[in-house]
Structure 1
């Protein structure tokens, strides 16, 4: 009887997590898009063309098919945090190192970029 209760409790917890994860993911993607398009925060549009963005720049590459270009999430996080470590000649600001974006904001932007 105790084993069944443990199993049912675990199944219920997994079910709740399954229902709440997509909602969290969607809200994180929406927050990431907002930050990426925000001219005072991520400001990605100053250099990049992003679908749905107004008045994009063309200095950086167009941000499309990101998940296949950067299958490892950590690589994309590192690029946004401080691209100068990978490419010392980059003009991309080190958003994390310069505290323009915090870790939570960078994660949200990465979640958004992975949908492109």
Structure 2
């Protein structure tokens, strides 16, 4: 009986940390998107909750309906020139402005908009 109880506690502990980790990634993504020295998304985009946005890029809203496939957003942040050679979107991944983990956190955040 004790091993089954212990296993249940361990599974419960992991299950309860998943939502917290997801929220943590969203918060990290928001911080990166709003950070003028890192993601710097506000230089070009209007984002709800951001201050002093730019108007070069489209407003970032309804992202999940516009880009239902997560990998599309990852590709855009990594190097949009692969999809659109004429873009002014910085290649955050290719130029190592953001790490893969940071790009994924920004995508987590964008999917909440």
Calculate the TM-score normalised by the size of structure 1. 0.89
Task: Identify which of 70, 83, 89 aligns with 1:86.
Answer: 83
1: distance between equivalents of 2:86 and 2:11?
Answer: 46
Superposed CA deviations along residues 95-116 of structure 1, whole A, max 9, x for unmatched, are: 0000000001001100100100
1:102 alignment partner in structure 2: 99
Calculate the TM-score normalised by the size of structure 2. 0.92
Task: Identify which of 51, 54, 61 aligns with 1:64.
Answer: 61
1: distance between equivalents of 2:66 and 2:9?
Answer: 37
- CA apart distance, 1:68: 1.0
Task: Identify which of 26, 29, 34 aligns with 2:31.
Answer: 34
Across the aligned residues of Structure 1 and Structure 2, the Cα RMSD in angstroms comes to 1.7
Query: How many residues are treated as equivalent by the alignment?
Result: 113
1:54 alignment partner in structure 2: 51
